[in-house]
Amino acid sequence: MSTLYPLKFTPILKDKIWGGNKLNKLLGKPTDSGSAGESWELSDVEGNTSIVANGTLKGTSLKTLLQNHKADLVGQKVYDQFGEKFPLLIKYIDAKQDLSVQLHPNDKLAKERHNSFGKTEMWYVMQADDNSNLIIDFNQPVTNDLYLKHLNDKTLPSILNFETVTKGDTFFIEVGRVHAIGAGVMLAEIQQTSDITYRVYDWDRVDDQGNSRELHNDLAIDAIDFNMPNNFKVSYETQQNKPKNLVTCPYFTTNIIVINSSIHKQNFHDSFMIYMAVGGDAVFEIDGKATPLLYGETILIPANIKEFRITSTNAELLEVYI
């Protein structure tokens, strides 16, 4: 069995009605499509399993890696909790047009209805055109009845909260919270392994055949939490060469590290570690072997690698573990 090492995976590109060309133009993703909306960097979603792109394990699926390496890959506590199911889905997203207004069910509803995990997620804005925004939650107290009135009257946007964003803005999107990525935003997304989305409003948009996309309002009404606190925007300050926490929740921890030298890292977490290059390039060095991480790439450091070095003159990395 091959020894584990820092693993890169072939991006799984998803064309979307709202997608654009930034994933290709800015991040170098292999697509000539003008509507690539998502690059799934690390996925164990059924039918969309990531494949190793580098080293002796090239061509191996994430599912096979987990079956063969178990806790060495993900950590004992993670393996005990999730078994041979990788628990996170890692993406880059480019919205040329507004995404639908949507929300995700919690673990209980997702299990009952879809035999799936819920979909708690976070966003880190990598690039944003002038005056572009995200929709998160409502701009006033909203009851079930008020929400349904605006939904039926096609006036839902009037009660939604629009957040104008710039690079570095970070948001934690809990299950049950209404949200949408606005036109002009490219971001990194970290979430539970789930592809369950309840779409509630799609701007009355149709595809090139004149068909509207399916809405899920009957499912969504039980899944919306109308009493969530206004705590979705993450406040943080970076510090050179030291991880600064962005989000800590039961499903993942995400830090940001701004690197302009060489730093020594130790893994004390009994978990895999994922790094997303949301700015600049870096080099990971383990046992004298170097693996580059370019802007827009993602790398998985297996749990059994306890020490490594990251070197860069200009990198901004998201560091993710459980």
- Predicted confidence band of residue 289 (pLDDT cuts 50, 70, 90): very high
38, 91 contact by CB (below 8 A): yes
| Terminal CA-CA length for the chain | 26
At residue 112, the pLDDT reads 94
Q: What is the mean pLDDT of residues 248-267?
A: 97
Is 12-223's fold the same as 244-321's? yes
What pLDDT does 212 receive? 85
Cα-Cα-Cα-Cα dihedral sign, residues 139, 201, 41, 74: positive
Distance separating alpha carbons of residues 40 and 27, to the nearest angstrom: 13
Q: How much is the pLDDT for 1? A: 63
* Mean per-residue pLDDT, 234-262: 97
Q: What is the structure's pLDDT at 117?
A: 87
Instruction: Convert the pLDDT of each residue in 183-224 to its tens digit.
Output: 999 999 999 998 899 999 999 888 778 888 889 999 999 999
Residue 307: beta bridge partners?
266
Name the pairing type of β-strands 121-128 and 185-192. antiparallel
The residue that leads in pLDDT, 34 or 201, is: 201
Residue pLDDT, tens place only, 61-96: 999 999 999 999 999 999 999 999 999 999 999 999
* pLDDT greater at residue 295 or residue 1: 295
Domain 12-223 has CATH 1.10.3210.50: no
Parse the chain into domains and list their residue ranges. Answer: 12-223, 244-321
- Domain 244-321 -> CATH class: mainly beta
